[in-house]
A and B are shown apart, each in its own frame.
Chain A
Amino acid sequence: MESLYGYFGKQLRVSLNNKEIVKENINASILRKYLGGAGYAVKVLYDEIPKGIDPLSSGNKLMFATSPLTANHIPGGGSIMLCFKSPLTNAWGESRCGGNFGPDLKKAGYDFLIIEGKSKEPVYLIINDDSIEFRSAMRLIGKSVSEKLRIIREELSEPKISVMCIGPAGEKLVKIATVMFEHRAAGRCGVGAVMGSKNLLGIAVKGSHKTPIAQPEKLTEVAKICLKILRDNDFAVNLKKHGTTGDMAANDAAGDWPTKNWHSNSWGKAEQLYDQFFNKYLVKNHGCYTGCPIACGRISEVKEGRFKTPLHEGSEYESLSAFTAFVFNENIEVAIYATHLCNEFGIDTISAGAIIAFAMECYENGILKKRDVGSIDLSWGNPEALPELVRKISLREGIGDMLAEGVKIASERLGRGSEKYAIHGKGLEAPAHDPRSGKVLGITYGTANRGMCHIHPLEGMAYDSGKVDWGLMKYGVPDPNTVDRWDEKGKGKIVKILQDALILPDILNTCKFFMYCGIYIDHLAEFLSAVTGWNIDGQELLKVGERVINLQRLFNVREGFRRDDDLLPKRMKQKPAFGFYENEDRCVIKDYGGMLNEYYQARGWDAKTGIPTKEKLLELELHEK
C-alpha cells in the first residue's frame, strides 16, 4: 500500500449513546477528491446523516475536521472546522475557529473526530493520544465559558491542554449557540446547540505525534517564501495593527456597513466609534494559534463604569458592528461588553446583534410591546437593552426563548408582518457587509450553502470594493480594476470562480485572511504537494472546491432547498434610507434574478430549480449522489 503523508489515516468516532469509541482507518482513496476540513466532512456527513432529521436529535453528527495543512508551523495552519446539520437553517452547517485545538487534535493522531448519538448525562471528553476518556460534566452545568475552561483544566491538572466547550446557551439549545475554543468562537449556524443536544459540554485534547511529511525540505522552502510575502504585505501589517475592526470606517464609507436592521448601508459613525475603540479600549493584538505571523485578534478592556469588562479577547469587526450599527447604538463600551457577554454565554455575536435589531424594529412598530419584553425599553440604540437581551436569549428567559430560535423562526411565530424585518439567508442572520456596496456580494450571500454568513460571501465585497483578485485572474476572474462595483452583469460568472477558490481555506483549514495577504491557491497547492507528496496544482484545487460546493449544495437539495432559498431579503436590494448613500439608485439591486441565472449557468445548475445538473455531477464525479 502506498504511504500516506499529511494524514494519520485515522478518524476517531465517538458514539455517545453507549460511550463507544472506534478508531477507524480512513478510506485513503477519497482523500485527494475531498482533501480535508469541510471537504472531507461533507463527503462523510452527506453519506451518514439521513434526510430530514431534527438537527438537535441524536441522529445529527458533529464532525471536527483537520487537513494536511493543520499545523502550527504552516502559516495560517491553526484552525479547526466543525461540520453538522444546522438547527438554525436545517441545511448544511459549518463553523470554523482559529486556535491550537486543530493542530493538537492532529498531534493526538486523528485527522477527523466524529461525534454521534447523545449521552444520557452531561459529559466532557479527554483525548490524549490513544487514551480517550469521558468525565462527568455535572460540575460544568450552567457555568460560563471562562469557568468551564478553568474547571476542566483544574480537573485535568493540565494548564496547557487545548480545551473547547459550550456556554450556558449551548446547554439550553439556543439555536445561535457557539462552541468556544478558549475565548474564540466557532460562532455560526448553532453548532453549540448541536453539541448541547448531545450532552457533550467540552473536549480537551493533547498529543505527541508528528504528522508524516513527504518532502520536509520543500515544505520549509515554501513556508519561507510565504512568510516573506506576509512580512512585506500591507494587509498583513494592518491586520496586526488594526485587526478586522480596522475596516469599520472604510466599510461605512463604501456603503458596506448595514445599519439599523438594514435600513441603510452606511451610517457615518464608524470612524468615530473605531477611533474610540482603538485609542481607549484596545489593549493589544493576539494570535489565535501559537506562531501566527499576523496575530489579528484583539485583546480589549473597559476598565470602569457600568459596562466594565475584564481584559478579554473579542471585539472583532463583526461583533462591534453588530452591537453598534445593526442596533443603532453609539456607545462603544456597551458594544465591547455585549460581545464579551456573548462569548461567556456562548452565543454568536452576529446573530445576537441581528436578532436584537429585529426585536427593536418589532418594538418600534408595535409588534412587540413593553409587556412582551420584560419591560425593557427596546428603542433603537438603547445601550441598556443590549446586555439584557443577550442574557435573556442565552438563557431562554422571557422573550429570549422565542428570539433564541433566530430571526426566521421568531418572525414566523410572531407574524403580523414581522417577517419583513427578519434579515437572513436560509435562516442564518446576515452579517455586517452589504450588497448595496457591490453586487458580487448579492450573489455570494444568496447562494452560500450555510446561509448568509461573513466567511464565504466576503470575497464579494473584497473583489468589488477592495479590488482584491487573490491571484485568480489566471483562472478566469476579470481584473477587478476593470469591473464597476455597482454593475450587475457578469457578476454571476465571477462568483462561481471566487467561490471555488475561496472555499479552499475551509477545506484545507488555513486562515482565510492569509489569502488577503498574498498567500494564494498556488501557494496552498505547493504546501499541499510538499506535505502529501502529491503533485497538485491550483487548477486541481479549484476543482476540489467546486466539487465540495456542489456536494454541500446536494446536502441542501436533499433537505428541500431550491432556487427560492437563494433569494435576498427585499430590504437588501432597495435604496438606503439614510447615510452616505441615502436614496441612491446605484445601490439598488435591480435584476437579482438575472444575476442568479448567470450564476446557475456558470455553475451548471438548473435555472428553474437551482439543482446541479446530471452532466455537472458526472464531471465532478458526484454522479452516484
Chain B
Amino acid sequence: MKIKVKLYTILEKYAKGKVLKNNTIILHKDTTLHGLSHCLKIPDNIGIVFLVNASPQDKEYKLREGDEVKIFSFIGGG
C-alpha cells in the first residue's frame, strides 16, 4: 500500500533513500506506525510523535492505503 509520510527536523535524514520525492512510501498491508518507523530506521530510543491524517496515533496504529503520516521528534529548547 502507498502512504504519504513527512519527517521533521532531526528525523528528516531518515527519509533519504526510502521516501519518494512526492513523500510517498510503499509498505506491506497492515504495517503499523512502529513498523514504519523501523522501515525508516529511526532509532528506538528517540522520542517521536505520530500524526495520522491530523490525529495523534500510538505506534500500534495499523496504517491504511492513502494515510498521511507526519513524524516529529524534538530538538530540545525552550
Contact = CB atoms under 8 A, between A and B. Distances in A.
Interface of A: 234-235, 237-239, 241-244, 246-247, 249-251, 253-255, 268, 271, 296, 316-318, 431-433, 454-455, 458, 461-462, 465-468, 480-481, 513, 516-517, 580-581
B77 A253 contact: no
B17 interface: no
B7 to A, nearest CB: 11
Interface string B56-68: 1000000000000
A247 B47 contact: no
Given A235-B10, A458-B77, A516-B76, 4 more contacts: A238-B75, A249-B8, A458-B76, A466-B73
B9 interface: yes
B2 interface: no
Q: Which 5 pairs across A and B sit closest by C-beta, in order of nearness? A: A244-B77, A467-B47, A516-B76, A454-B78, A250-B72
A179 B72 CA distance: 34
14 contacts: A235-B75, A243-B77, A246-B75, A247-B74, A247-B76, A249-B72, A250-B8, A250-B72, A250-B74, A296-B77, A317-B78, A455-B78, A466-B47, A580-B55
Given A238-B9, A253-B70, A465 B76 contact: no
B76 A513 contact: yes
A477 to B, nearest CB: 14
Contacts of A238: 9-10, 75
Contacts of A253: 49, 51, 56, 70, 72
B74 A466 contact: yes
B70 A466 contact: no
A624 B59 CA distance: 52
A235 B76 contact: yes
A239 B75 contact: yes
A254 B75 CA distance: 13
Contacts of A250: 8-9, 49, 72-75
A454 B76 CA distance: 12
Contacts of B46: 467
A479 to B, nearest CB: 8
Contacts of A234: 10, 13
Q: Find the residue from A249, A253, A296, A516 having the highest chain B CB count within 10 A.
A: A253
A271 B68 CA distance: 15
Contacts of B47: 465-468, 480
A290 B74 CA distance: 26
B49 A239 contact: no
B45 interface: yes
Q: Find the residue from B54, B55, B56 having the highest chain A CB count within 10 A.
A: B56
Q: How large is the interface on B (under 10, 10 to 19, 20 to 34, 35 or more residues)?
A: 20 to 34
B37 to A, nearest CB: 13
B12 to A, nearest CB: 9
B78 to A, nearest CB: 4
B56 A581 contact: yes
A298 B19 CA distance: 30
Nearest to A467: B47
Contacts of B73: 250, 466
A581 B57 CA distance: 10
A247 B9 contact: yes
B16 to A, nearest CB: 14
Contact of A244 (B8, B44, B56, B78): B78
B75 A244 contact: yes
B58 to A, nearest CB: 10
Given A242-B9, A250-B9, A466 B76 contact: yes
B74 A462 contact: yes
B38 to A, nearest CB: 15
Q: Find the residue from B44, B70, B77 having the highest chain A CB count within 10 A.
A: B77
A268 B55 CA distance: 10
B49 A254 contact: yes
Contacts of B70: 253, 271
Interface in B18-72: 44-47, 49, 51, 54-56, 70, 72
Contacts of B77: 239, 243-244, 247, 296, 316-317, 458, 513, 516
Given A249-B8, A268-B54, A242 B75 contact: yes
Q: Find the residue from B51, B54, B73, B75 having the highest chain A CB count within 10 A.
A: B75
Q: Find the residue from B10, B56, B78 having the highest chain A CB count within 10 A.
A: B78
B55 A465 contact: no
A255 B49 CA distance: 10
A235 B73 CA distance: 10
Contacts of A237: 10
A461 B10 CA distance: 17
A238 B74 CA distance: 10
B35 to A, nearest CB: 18
Contacts of B78: 244, 317-318, 431-433, 454-455, 458
Nearest to A245: B77
Contacts of A244: 75, 77-78
A86 B45 CA distance: 39
B76 A481 contact: no
Nearest to B72: A250
